[in-house]
Structure 1
Amino acid sequence: MDSNYHKPLRIYLVSSTDLPEFTHLTRALTRSNLIALDAEWKPIRSHQPNFPTVSLLQLACQLDPRLSSDSDELNETVVFLLDLSSIPLSSILELLKEVFVSPDVLKLGFKFKQDLIYLSSTFCSQGCEPRFDRVEPYLDIASIYNYLQHKQHGRKLPRETKSLATICKEVLGISLSKELQCSDWSRRPLTEEQKTYAATDAHCLLEIFNSFRDKVSQEGFITGNSSGNIVELHSFDVDLGLKEILEKPEVGNKIIRTRVCDALDIVRAAASSQYSQHVAEGVVSRISCRTTMPMDEFFLKIVRKHGEKLVLRESDRAPKTSKKKGKRRSSAVVILKEKQVDNFGDWQGPPPWDSSLGGDGCPKFLCDVMVEGLAKHLRCVGIDAAIPNSKKPESRELIDQASKEKRVLLTRDAKLLRHQYLIKNQIYRVKSLLKNEQLLEVIETFQLKISEDQLMSRCTKCNGRFIQKPLSMEEAVEAAKGFQRIPDCLFDKNLEFWQCIDCHQLYWEGTQYHNAVQKFIDVCKLSE
């Protein structure tokens, strides 16, 4: 994993054009050739006739090293969270539109067309015209992923719709938590967890692109090297133009006495100040604040080969209506149906493991794909929590598995509740959105008894139990041969190892273990 990913991010919440954060934003936009875009909004019900209102727009800017006078800022990333519920939208309309279509800036996104549609609708609802209709040049992270997969396997693979979390795991080797995705983004103030989540969502797009950039650079084709030899190409080695000329002692000293980087700072500051002044005066004009250098040859070749543009058509301006024939149900009927489903989802009991039903008294759950994260949390507190046998199970498969293994099926899919008549008291609809809250909900609903001794007593990978006796270092090394690598830093420590009986994964009581134990002590309130 790239160590840069762990470097603390600079995150600015921009809620007013009068605050220093807005000045930082306008300055960063003049120093970035690469910007990742993302947006957040309050989840809506599918039958709502209007588009959701975007509450937060994230811009992760990778600063152009050619415009930096500080070596510490090379390849630095800064993330801006634009609070669209607080900042006057008319004051940032022209700024954003110019960034979205600037040929000097490559925009990254993940299925950003939907975000753009919602963003355009949000600005239009505030009387901002003309609204957003395009983003170019643009590069979708899903396209990058498909390219990397194609290169890795040596043949064209069918396009798959992978989640961003899956792509992050495969490309960067990191686990991207999405549990805050469905939180209420319209509520203010935003929590620190929401800010971090939003910033990370945009930042990871840059990291995936950088991984892709390194890959194509090594392959040589992006530099135009037809022989296929590896050519190392740095962005500050190409297209220096006037800066290169002026920095030559025999020329630059005669023409200009001010260092080029200082001159660029003056231009950027003047442009930023000019834009801010017009905002303060309530004037939204087409005065450009873009003073970035054109893309270098490296970026240009990436754009030519992989770039695209997002363009909204007139048909994108309104929510899609259902094409099913028949009368549309009234909103009152829809709300009534939803209330009935919610009530039907309440736990009726007793569970199949209850001794009155011939059970062994040990709680067992089956978590469908909508609550797979909850399955790992349950395993961390020592509860038997399985996941479906197949990746995309049908409803009947889930029901059969739950019935056969005498488990309670946990889901957030209201449609599954229709099948309660098949396995009475074996389906429960989880109401909470966040994993920690889901865990507490299940513990309270089923009156589970959690003790500190149970924590981390199951394999989080496969739900298996651990061997009864711990392994020594020598035994662990033997068990790991051809299967798992034990980090070298562990050999000089007196550690005990535990192995899963089912999948044979090795675990040890390191920093991650102790952090996880403390986390679940706090979540389950075991210290009270």
Structure 2
Amino acid sequence: MDLGNQKPFKIHVVSSTESPEFTHLTRALTRSLLIAIDAEWKPTRAGQQQTCLPTVSLLQLACQLDPRLGGDSDESENSVVFLVDLLLIPLPSIWELLRDVFVSPDILKLGFRFKQDLVYLSSTFSSHGCNLGFDRIEPFLDITSVYKDLQHKQPGRKMSKDIKSLATICKEVLGISLSKELQCSDWSHRPLTEAQRTYAAMDAHCLLDIFNVFQHKVIKEGNLNHNLAEPTSLVSNVGLKEILEKNGVCEKIIRTTFCDALDIVRATACFDISQKIASEEGMVLRSQQRSTLPMDESLLKIVNRYGEKLVLKESDKKPKISKRKGKRRSSAGLINKEKQLENLEDGQGPIPWDLSLGGNGSPKFLCDVMVEGLAKHLRCVGIDAAIPHSKKPEPRELIGQAHRENRVLLTRDAKLLRHQYILKNQIYRVKSLLKNEQLLEVIETFQLKISEDQLMSRCTKCNGRFIQKPLTTEEAVEAAKGFQRIPNCLFNQNLEFWQCMDCNQLYWEGTQYKNAVQKFIDVCKLND
């Protein structure tokens, strides 16, 4: 994951209400201007019928602390990310805390297409005795709306209505590469890996960074000076009694919720107040120790103009039933089919390069689009690894290419395993998600022998072999004419150059080469 100029931030995993991390979480939630929210759950199989909603395993809260409240030795950072482990922490113990944050008028909540996450989150808490779950988040701002405002509209061209992925938005707005490799990993498995923690934290924290770019642009362009309510000017010097005595106000408050009344009162900027809320049954006294400051003026103006409410209806909280026509397949049939796929996946027979089958003993693989990164890693350790001829190949094309070239097809698509009877042990489903782990899995599964002199012996660009004898600097300059530029700084280093016999790409043993060799020595454990 390339973080570019991303500022470092702290990650706290909260798995117990008795832990220091939980104390830090409760403190940070009352000292935040912005909170970015994200959630992770165990993904369901494609085409699997949902009888109940997925259980959220992890809740990410990225908090941008309010500089007006100052800091101490424990909270010197400007922002911090909390990973709340919902599988380990008792949900009823944090439900009220989260609910209050979700509706607090003093904190702007950020999310990326978060409605589905909120549905699953509400269902998860409801199933653990928190009957109401969560039905709203306000004030709320979706990062997709922010992104559309940040786009530069060109005269005569319509803005694209396509919703960009978060990775694309991060690349365009922040200039960082947000890897989504772990999006579909098993978030219900414990302990979480370090890579999963980093991925989850970054998914939430990048929302803060995107909003900060947006806020700077809005303030710089001065787009907040018209059609805006100014609640602070109305009640900044009056108390609750005067507000209630104004004509029509008391009657209005009687018919509203406590949170709506709090919107009116919060401009008094009082931290410790005894709030008397009128109701039709009488006067109800509620004392509240308030530790959050009212939203600052610039942020309040953004909320007034761009903010929204994320509200769930009862119909949102029920599993969606597929409306596809056709015969229903019994659950027993689905289970049997899954077992057949598992058996096919594990039942590896003779490989096509087996000497007893007439092969030459040299492993050859075909990596489909889901594991293209694995192809480059295999090439780096000297293994012949091709990719499909077309960008979006049909299963028939993949099967044909694997047959013609006597390759084993590597994929993560379980549907392709159905063609096992055609490929006859020429297909393998890769289980790992990360490229280094995928490489080790393939090496161990197919018992490949990797040696140090094999490293960086194939072209990572086209999978071709290098020429047998290295080129001198003069020969390399001649070979590169009109094709590739060789940096001048290499001329006096007496380096050896190697050329791919297929695509003519030139390589030399510079710093990147040495780093790559050392990386794959470590990954393949060649020194052990």
1:341: which partner in 2? 341
1:174: which partner in 2? 176
1:89: which partner in 2? 91
How many angstroms apart in 2 are the aligned matches of 1:522 and 1:380? 13
Q: How does 1:41-52 map to 2 (within 5 A)?
A: 41-45=41-45, 46-52=48-54
Matched, 1:164 2:166: yes
Deviation (angstroms), 1:325: 4.4
1:445: which partner in 2? 445
SS of residue in 1 equivalent to 2:525 = coil
Matched, 1:208 2:233: no
2:100: which partner in 1? 98
Q: How does 1:91-490 map to 2 (within 5 A)?
A: 91-148=93-150, 151=153, 155-214=157-216, 220=221, 222=223, 287=288, 291-297=292-298, 299-300=299-300, 302-303=302-303, 306-325=306-325, 328-346=328-346, 348-353=348-353, 361-458=361-458, 460=460, 463=463, 469=470
The change in CA–CA distance for 1:159 and 1:420 in structure 2 (over 3 A counts) is: farther
Contact 1:53-1:119 within 8 A present in 2 as well: yes
Contact 1:495-1:509 within 8 A present in 2 as well: no
Deviation (angstroms), 1:80: 0.8
How many angstroms apart in 2 are the aligned matches of 1:401 and 1:456? 25
Contact 2:440-2:524 within 8 A present in 1 as well: yes
Deviation (angstroms), 1:338: 0.6
Deviation (angstroms), 1:349: 4.6
Deviation (angstroms), 1:522: 3.3
How many angstroms apart in 2 are the aligned matches of 1:151 and 1:499? 47
The change in CA–CA distance for 1:4 and 1:350 in structure 2 (over 3 A counts) is: same
Deviations 1:178-230 (A, max 9, x none): 44434433344434333233222222232333344455556x254669xxxxx
Aligned residue identity for 2:295: P
Deviation (angstroms), 1:312: 1.8
Contact 1:38-1:115 within 8 A present in 2 as well: yes
The change in CA–CA distance for 1:224 and 1:73 in structure 2 (over 3 A counts) is: farther
Identity %: 66
How many angstroms apart in 1 are the aligned matches of 2:474 and 2:78? 41
The change in CA–CA distance for 1:47 and 1:63 in structure 2 (over 3 A counts) is: same
SS of residue in 2 equivalent to 1:59 = strand
Contact 1:33-1:105 within 8 A present in 2 as well: yes
Using the TM superposition, name which of 445-454 and 399-408 deviates more. 399-408
Deviation (angstroms), 1:413: 1.6
Deviation (angstroms), 1:507: 7.3
Question: Quick check: which has more Rg, 1 or 2?
Answer: 2
Aligned residue identity for 2:523: V
Contact 1:13-1:80 within 8 A present in 2 as well: yes
Contact 1:148-1:212 within 8 A present in 2 as well: yes
Contact 2:103-2:139 within 8 A present in 1 as well: yes
Q: Which runs of 4+ in 1 moved over 6 A?
A: 70-75, 470-476, 478-486, 490-493, 497-500, 505-508
Contact 2:3-2:177 within 8 A present in 1 as well: no
2:26: which partner in 1? 26
Deviation (angstroms), 1:445: 2.7
Contact 1:58-1:80 within 8 A present in 2 as well: yes
SS of residue in 2 equivalent to 1:210 = helix
Deviation (angstroms), 1:369: 3.0
How many angstroms apart in 2 are the aligned matches of 1:498 and 1:212? 47
TM-score by length of 1: 0.73
Deviations 1:25-72 (A, max 9, x none): 122222322222111223344335222221211111122333335799
Deviations 1:287-317 (A, max 9, x none): 57561331442x4454455544332222221
The change in CA–CA distance for 1:217 and 1:513 in structure 2 (over 3 A counts) is: farther
Deviation (angstroms), 1:439: 2.0
Deviations 1:260-303 (A, max 9, x none): xxxxxxx99x99xxxxxxxxxxxxx9957561331442x44544
Deviation (angstroms), 1:505: 8.3
Deviation (angstroms), 1:73: 7.4
Matched, 1:40 2:36: no
Aligned residue identity for 2:66: D
TM-score by length of 2: 0.73
Q: What's the C-alpha RMSD, in Å, of the aligned pairs?
A: 4.4
Contact 1:480-1:506 within 8 A present in 2 as well: no
Q: Count residues with an aligned counterpart.
A: 470
2:523: which partner in 1? 523
2:277: which partner in 1? none
Q: How does 1:503-522 map to 2 (within 5 A)?
A: 504=505, 509-510=510-511, 516-522=516-522
Deviation (angstroms), 1:339: 0.9
Deviation (angstroms), 1:342: 1.2
1:61: which partner in 2? 63
Deviation (angstroms), 1:147: 4.9
Deviation (angstroms), 1:526: 1.6
Deviation (angstroms), 1:361: 4.6
